[in-house]
Each structure stands twice: as structure tokens, then as C-alpha cells.
Chain A
Amino acid sequence: MKILIVEDEAKTADYLHKGLTEQGCAVDVANNGIDGRHLATELDYDVIVLDAMLPGMDGFEVLRALRKTRQTPVIMLTARDGLDDRIKGLQDGADDYLVKPFSFLELLARLQALTRRGRTQEPMQLRIGDLQIDLASRKAQRGGVRIDLTAKEFALLAVLARRKGEILSKTAIAELVWDMNFDSNVNVVEVAIKRLRAKIDGPFATRLLHTIRGMGYVLEQRESETA
């Protein structure tokens, strides 16, 4: 995935560059609006991360200039939480919008969502190690043993399985599973993960559902780990 970051804050640009590169993306960075516009209009990117406040030329101007020639997906970043800014950005043709402070995981999720758009249908069968999930019949089994899950437990498992290997924050999980798209500050997700873990990992030797402290949860098979 080829990504352009237009951001004047050096630290922000640095960590975004590093983080996204490590995720396997090709990343270019522009630290002002004029360079940003030049790169955005001249080169092909899969997605552009555009700060709203930029020296030389602000993000909205860059966006308007870009939209005259290209439809590259754009995520706007802003430190201002005004509704006006949000509306303005979306009117000018931004595809998504993030308010600082945002988490890197959230940005990653949004970037993936933007580039995933319009892809072919997902497979109905998912497999992580010896865990098999059938999204159509809403059934899961591990090592040939059927796992009994409630509707919400299955929804949680499906969300994690669809993004296997991806770290999902509690906020993202709350949004994807329960449609609660705000910082809820509650331990609902922890409790749900604990239950799910008891069912899918409890009786088995290998752990699949991992906690990344401070970040969230990931469902994947790790060769080195045993329960």
C-alpha cells in the first residue's frame, strides 16, 4: 500500500512514517501544504493522510486542489474538534476524518477500511490455526470440537477473525461488535474477551487470542507460544 503523509509536526510525521512502513506500506512524507499538493497530484497513492493545519497552504486547500484531478482516498487529521471543520473537510471531498489525539491503531483501521472498499466478497470460512469459523452458519469449532458461543461472543470472534493478525483496540471492538462508537471507558470488552478466551483457548494447548497490553487484542497463531 502506498501512502502519502502530509503533516508539519515532525514527531507525528516520524512515528506515522515508521509505523506505517513497518506495516508494510510505502510511505512518503511532505511537511508543508505546497509539497503535499505537488506529491498528491503528481504521484499515485492508495491513500493520503492530510493534516488540516499546514504551513504555506492548509489541508483544505490541498484537498480542493487534489480533487480537481484525482479521487485518491483522503483521511483528514485535525486538532480542532469543531463540527464545522468536520463538515468542511467532508464537503471538500475528504473520505474520513480523525481528531487528534487519535490512536495509531485507529488510523491503521481507517486506512485499511478505506483501501478495502470495493474489494471482492470475503470468504465465508475463516481459519486461524486449528480454529475454524463458518460465518454463514455462525458456527465455530477447534480441533474438530464444536464451540458453543452466544450471538455476541460469535460476533466478537468473527470481528477478530476477519482481521486476524491485526491488533484491535477496545474502542474499535466496541464499535464493530456493539455499534458503540465512542470512548466508553467501560470494561465490557475486557469481560467479553475473557469469556471468549475461556471458550476458544481454555481447553486447548495453544493460545490464539492474545492481549497486547495498552493496545488491544489480536487473534493469531503464534508458533512459539503455548498455554
Chain B
Amino acid sequence: MFALVAVVAFTLIGAALYAVLHRELVRQQMDVLSTTSGEMMFSLTRMGTAERWARGMAKMDTLTPADGSLRFWVVSPDPHFSYGKDAAELASIAELDDGYDEVLLPGRERPMRTFARTVDALEQRPAVKFVVGIATEPYLHTLHTFVIALAALLLAAVLVIMLLCQWMASVGLRPLKRLSSEAQQISPAHPTQRLQAASLPVELDDLAHTFNGALDRLQSAYTQLEAFNADVAHELRTPLTNLIGQTQVALARPRGVQELEETLQSNLEELDRLRAIVNDMLFLARADRGEAATGLVNTVVADEVDKTIEFFEFVLDDLGLTVAVEGDIDAVAPMDRALFRRAVTNLLQNAIQHTRGGTRIVVRLERQEGGVSVAISNPGDPIDAAHLPRLFDRFYRVDAARNDQGAAHGHGLGLAIVKAVASMHGGRVFAVSADGNTAIGFNLPR
């Protein structure tokens, strides 16, 4: 590619140089002709007699070099005042008009460049035509040599450029090659490995940063998934351990019916926990696969919220808590009612569980640009901003040491399910903690 461009460019330059040189050579020939012609004319115009003319002819003889590269002719009606050896030559010279011209003389390969002028009559001499001719061979030779030299130079230059380009490309691509080999080494075994962006040229810096950004996101998803799997294993491990242990203990000795019954009942409780976890995990997996809620019905959001609050009526009463619905209570949004209630149930349960230093839980409905948002806020301990977006992660606990157990506390999937329900509706979740209040919610797009 580079070579082709170089060839074209150099050919153009060469052609231009050739044209310039050619013109200069022609001009030089003309200069020689006009100078020589001028000098001779100066003498010839003053030569009116045959005697003086002979001196002029002798001067022309001396000026004519042996190789005949410079020639003089005088064409005259009076043979005494003619100059030029060959009659045939004179015949072709006689046809020339005043000025520059070219003439191919008999017995020559190349034409001669000529300059013709008329010398006015003086005394005995009639008006004659004075012609100076110069051979073009040396000039053509020069031109020829020049063309060969130029062609050779061009060829050499193209070769050099090709090699240079190749070298430059390989030097220029070296960082890219390095990136490529670095990228090849990135694998799940070395999840923290990144491309070295520091030593890269500016052009590649962006690429490396973008690529590293993508890797960061993948790694965080990967880490989350790994942690998730570990959490699942852990969550299942506890009830499984209880089941196996209790059953083994029960069977190790003969037991009364009542004792065996109690063991079975306890086992059943553990099994039910397992079942709930598995069902919730399956639900989350479906949402993860991008399953969307279908058959959405336009519903007054506040009505569904009220029904869910009704569900908690006794619990709220026992704990001395109240729930108020505020905001846009006429707002309507398309929803899968069962899923919506599930999400609000989980949010309310979360709010009830974490209410501290107050008794009033608020469900705030707001009509927004794209739909309706539902935010449930409870007075409670402030949550660090770093934890807020992670509240919706599966099995995420703000206080790692606190390990909520028992039916009343769920199993760490409540808010993850809220997020899944929101995403099944094409909505998003949000969490805000300020002024001793925590508000968690989601929105339903229209």
C-alpha cells in the first residue's frame, strides 16, 4: 500500500522534473543560438563586399566545431555570399523562416535546432538569410541520462520507503501485540489481571481503559456470582446439617413415639426453610433470565398497597406500629398484582423488622415521568451509603456478623425479590438513608 502510494507520488515528481529539465535544456539551446547568432550578425551586417565577406566566412569556419554540433549557413541569391558546404543542406535551410525552428538535415539522426535571421542588403551584397544551427544530440543525451538516473533513484526510494514503513508498522503495532498477548493471559484463574495501560501510546490508552473497565464489571459480576453460590451453599448447609444431625441422633437410640414425632416436626420446619429458599432462588433465576411479567393490569397502586398493609394488620398492631400511605393515592400503573404484593410485602416486612426509634412507617406513592414509584420508609439506624445499593444483593447483610435467623426474619432474599419484581416490570429499585429514616422502594414504568 505504502509502496504503491510512493510509486505514484514519485512518478508524478519525476514527470514534473523531466518536463522542467526538458524546457530548461531547450531554453539553453535557444540562448546559445541567439548569443552566437547575435555575435555573427554584428559582423555580417557590416560586411558589404566579397572580400570582407570572406573574412566573415573564415570566422564562421573557426567557430564551427569539428563534430558539427554548431553550424552556420547563409542563404543568398548570389552564390558569392552563400555559406554552407552541402547543396542539399542549403536547400532545406532555405525553406526556414526567420526565428527558431528545427530542421532534420540529410545524413543526421536528430534534427538540429535553428535560429534564422535576415541580414539586410549592404553595398554589393544582397539581403541574405543567416541561420545558426545547434545539434540536439548532447541535450537529448543529457535528458536520457537524467531519466535513467531518475528512474533508478525512484526505484531505490520506493524500496527504502517500503522497508521503512514495514519497520515503522512493526514498531507502531508492538504495543498492540503486547496488549493482545496480555489479553490472552486473562482467565478466570487470574481475575484481577488487567492490561498495562501506563506505557501505552495515547491512541491505545483509551482502548486499554475501556477494556479494563469491561473486565472490572465482569469481575464484579463474577465475584458476586461466586459469593452468591457460596451463600446458597451456606444457607442450605445449615438446615441440611440440622436435618442430618437430628435424624441421626433420633435414630441412634430407641425413642418414644412423641420424641420421634418431635424430631419429624423439627425436620419438617427445616425442610420447609429449604423449600422456601429453593423456590425463591428459582424465582430469582427466572427474573435473571430476563423473564418479564405478563398480563399486566392497570391498577390503582394505593389499593394494592392497602391490601398488603391489611395483611400485616395484626403484626403491626402487636408491635404498636402504624403504616401511612401518602402521596399520589390515585396513581395507576400496569402491574402483575401478585408480584406487586409480594414486593410490597417484602418491603413492609423489611421496614417492620428495622424500625428503631419511632413507630410510623410511611408508604409514599409518587407519579413520575415514566410511571409510579413506591417508597417505604421507616425510622431506623442510618445505613452507610456504601451499603445502600447492595441491599438488593442476595443474602446481603449490612452487618456481616448479624445473622438473622428464623421465620420472622426471612432468609436474606427479600429485597432481592423486590428487585426481581421491579425488573420483571421493567422498573428499578432505590434505597435512601437520611435523617434517621431509611426509604427503600421501586418504580413501575407505565
- A152 and B313 in contact, given A183-B280, A185-B407 (Cβ under 8 angstroms): yes
- Tell me the minimal C-beta distance from B387 to chain A in angstroms: 22
* A186 adjacent to B349 (CB under 8 Å): yes
A83 CA to B291 CA in the complex, in Å? 9
Of the listed residues A152, A186, A195, the one surrounded by the most CB atoms of chain B closer than 10 A to its CB is A186
Contacts of B307 in A (CB 8 A): 178-179
A178 CA to B337 CA in the complex, in Å? 13
- A188 and B314 in contact, given A83-B291, A178-B307, A214-B266 (Cβ under 8 angstroms): yes
* B279 adjacent to A185 (CB under 8 Å): no
- The answer, among A82, A186, A187, A215, for a CB contact under 8 Å with B345, is A186
- A215 and B268 in contact, given A83-B291, A185-B276 (Cβ under 8 angstroms): yes
Of the listed residues B267, B278, B408, the one surrounded by the most CB atoms of chain A closer than 10 A to its CB is B408
B120 at the interface (CB under 8 A from A): no
B272 at the interface (CB under 8 A from A): yes
Interface residues of B in 393-413 (CB under 8 A from A): 407-408, 410-411
- A101 and B311 in contact, given A185-B414, A187-B407 (Cβ under 8 angstroms): no
- A188 and B311 in contact, given A180-B341, A182-B338 (Cβ under 8 angstroms): yes
* A183 adjacent to B276 (CB under 8 Å): yes
Chain B's interface: helix, strand, loop or mixed, by majority? helix
* A103 adjacent to B265 (CB under 8 Å): no
- The answer, among A81, A101, A174, for a CB contact under 8 Å with B286, is A81
Contacts of B291 in A (CB 8 A): 83
Contacts of A190 in B (CB 8 A): 407
A115 at the interface (CB under 8 A from B): no
- A185 and B310 in contact, given A191-B318, A213-B265, A213-B269 (Cβ under 8 angstroms): no
Contacts of A83 in B (CB 8 A): 286, 291, 294
B390 at the interface (CB under 8 A from A): no
Contacts of B407 in A (CB 8 A): 185-187, 190
Q: How many interface residues does A have (CB within 8 Å)?
A: 26
- Contact code string A100-112 (vs B, CB < 8 Å = 1, else 0): 0101000000000
A174 CA to B310 CA in the complex, in Å? 12
Interface residues of A in 129-146 (CB under 8 A from B): none
A180 CA to B262 CA in the complex, in Å? 29
- A81 and B338 in contact, given A152-B310, A213-B265, A214-B269 (Cβ under 8 angstroms): no
Chain A's interface: helix, strand, loop or mixed, by majority? loop
- The answer, among B265, B266, B311, B313, for a CB contact under 8 Å with A180, is B311
A182 CA to B410 CA in the complex, in Å? 13
* A185 adjacent to B311 (CB under 8 Å): no
A181 CA to B311 CA in the complex, in Å? 12
* B342 adjacent to A81 (CB under 8 Å): no
Contacts of A183 in B (CB 8 A): 276, 279-280
Contacts of A99 in B (CB 8 A): 279, 282
Interface residues of A in 23-59 (CB under 8 A from B): none
- Tell me the minimal C-beta distance from A12 to chain B in angstroms: 14
* B268 adjacent to A192 (CB under 8 Å): no
Contacts of B262 in A (CB 8 A): 213
- A191 and B311 in contact, given A183-B276, A213-B269, A214-B269 (Cβ under 8 angstroms): no
Of the listed residues A103, A174, A183, A190, the one surrounded by the most CB atoms of chain B closer than 10 A to its CB is A183
* A101 adjacent to B279 (CB under 8 Å): yes
B104 at the interface (CB under 8 A from A): no
* A191 adjacent to B315 (CB under 8 Å): yes
Contacts of B274 in A (CB 8 A): 101
* A188 adjacent to B312 (CB under 8 Å): yes
A102 CA to B411 CA in the complex, in Å? 19
A125 at the interface (CB under 8 A from B): no
B354 at the interface (CB under 8 A from A): no
Contacts of A188 in B (CB 8 A): 311-312, 314-315
**Residues in chain A within 8 A of chain B (CB atoms):** 81-83, 99, 101, 103, 152, 174, 178-188, 190-192, 195, 213-215
3 tightest A-B contacts by CB? A214-B268, A213-B265, A214-B265
**Residues in chain B within 8 A of chain A (CB atoms):** 262, 264-269, 272, 274-276, 278-280, 282-283, 286, 291, 294, 307-308, 310-315, 318, 338, 341-342, 345, 349, 407-408, 410-411, 414
Known: A185-B410, A186-B349. 13 other contacts (CB 8 A): A81-B282, A83-B294, A99-B282, A103-B275, A178-B311, A179-B307, A181-B338, A186-B312, A186-B410, A187-B408, A213-B262, A214-B264, A214-B266
